[in-house]
Every structure is written in C-alpha cells, then in structure tokens.
C-alpha cells in the first residue's frame, strides 16, 4: 500500500491531537505535524483549508478531515485503503478529549509605553 501525504494540524498538549499522532505512528505513516497552538500561521492555514476552527484537522492526499479524532482518522485510512486494520495497541487513547489540565496556563503580560 502506498503511503499518503499527510498534514496534521495539531496542538502539542491535547488528548485528541495525541490520539491522531498515535494512530499515524501505529501505522508507521509519515506526517507533517503542524503546531496550531504556537504557530498562528499554521492555525490560519488549517482554518482556511477546513472552513472551521476546531482541531485536530488532518489532510490526507489533499482531502481535509476536519475536527477529527484518532479513532476517526484510523477508520478513514482503513476505508480509503491506505492501511489494513490493525489491533495493535497505541501509546495513548485515540478517542480522548482534551482536559483543562492539559491546556497551558495563561501568563499575564504587562505592556510598557516606550518613551
């Protein structure tokens, strides 16, 4: 089976994003991991391509899969014929939401007027 070109728009700390990474790693599929949390350009690209703001979003050979879990990515890859279903375990759950404790804490900033 040929390996598709995959671009994954993910957050570094999110349960859904970790699940997508786990599925792609489980099937040994190379992918571009685009950090939408720390890179506003990547987030804007994801929103532009997917037409919405929820993540993760995964682009497989040019087809955008918006707001998707690892479980749904796996189902798509199997149905599209990119992989054969495997019951191998993943290192993290592939259907788990982000939790509040996973979000980095906000840090207040103080702006100073330059003279």
96: closest CA among 23, 9, 7, 8? 23
**What is the predicted pLDDT for the residue at 115?**
64
User: Is cis: bond before 56, omega within 30 of 0?
Assistant: yes
- Rounded Cα–Cα distance for residues 83 and 112 (Å): 55
Based on its alpha-carbon atoms, the radius of gyration of the chain, rounded to whole angstroms, reads: 16
**What is the predicted pLDDT for the residue at 6?**
98
**What is the predicted pLDDT for the residue at 99?**
65
Residue that the structure tokens 């040994």 belong to: 28
Which one-letter DSSP state was computed for residue 35?
Answer: E
109 pLDDT higher than 90: no
pLDDT, tens only, 23-79: 999 999 999 999 999 999 999 999 999 999 999 999 999 999 999 999 999 999 999
- CATH fold of 6-90 reads Glutaredoxin (3.40.30)
Residue 105's contacts (CB-CB under 8 Å, 6 or more residues apart) are none
The burial of 17, by beta-carbon neighbours within 10 Å (0-12 exposed, 13-18 middle, 19 or more buried), is given as buried
**What is the predicted pLDDT for the residue at 98?**
72
Q: For the chain, what is the mean pLDDT? A: 89
């Amino acid at each position: 089976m040929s390996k598709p070109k995959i671009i994954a728009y993910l957050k570094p700390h999110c349960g859904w994003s970790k699940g997508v990474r786990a599925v792609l790693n489980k099937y040994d599929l190379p992918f571009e991991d685009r950090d939408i949390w720390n890179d506003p350009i990547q987030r804007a690209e994801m929103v532009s391509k997917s037409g919405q703001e929820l993540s993760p979003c995964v682009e497989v050979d040019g087809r955008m899969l918006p707001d998707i879990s690892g479980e749904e990515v796996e189902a798509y890859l199997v149905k599209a014929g990119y992989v054969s279903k495997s019951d191998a375990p993943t290192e993290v759950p592939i259907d788990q939401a982000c939790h509040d404790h996973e979000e980095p804490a906000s840090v207040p900033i103080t702006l100073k007027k330059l003279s």
